[in-house]
A and B are shown apart, each in its own frame.
Chain A
Amino acid sequence: NAGVTQTPKFRILKIGQSMTLQCAQDMNHNYMYWYRQDPGMGLKLIYYSVGAGITDKGEVPNGYNVSRSTTEDFPLRLELAAPSQTSVYFCASRLSASTDTQYFGPGTRLTVL
């Protein structure tokens, strides 16, 4: 199993550009998450999904969008990138409502200039 994979590893965007961060998992997990991590601030939840076709906002959803058309994939879309979106983005997954452990992808470091 590859676990949770993310692409790209690094990206530099200009203000106003858009991009999609890719996340995939091959563990047949129902729940998937997107977090951002700023220095000294822990992990902030952006969006999450409890299954294909179902998504919901987390703590910091503004400026982002998600979709979940399959169990495996959970892309995060940034529209009109802003410097405040400079961060490290982690995707995570967990098996079901009755399990607690989340497994994380390797992260995407995004810089918006």
Chain B
Amino acid sequence: QSALTQPASVSGSPGQSITISCTGTSSDVGSYSLVSWYQQHPGKAPKLMIYEDTERPSGVSNRFSGSKSGNTASLTISGLQAEDEADYYCCSYAGSSTWVFGGGTKLTVL
């Protein structure tokens, strides 16, 4: 159960697009279409932003999108807004009823 690999930080200006990567292995990210992404503001509980690699829950802005290729999943945020500044975590099913998170990425909106 090794953590998925995410960049520690990313940044972008308002209106720009950014992409956060999440690299796992053929035992987790590469084996299941069960990667999800969570947004967490300071002092708050995480919020589901993307599930099953590419699906967006109702109520989540369509500026958020997910993709996956092989063992690497990605979260793209387009039209960056100040409110998007937060920590983002990816998570993948890892088999045998277990899950694994990434280390988290701090997004700064410049």
A joins B in a complex: no
Interface of B with A (CB < 8 Å)? none
A-to-B contact residues, CB < 8 Å: none
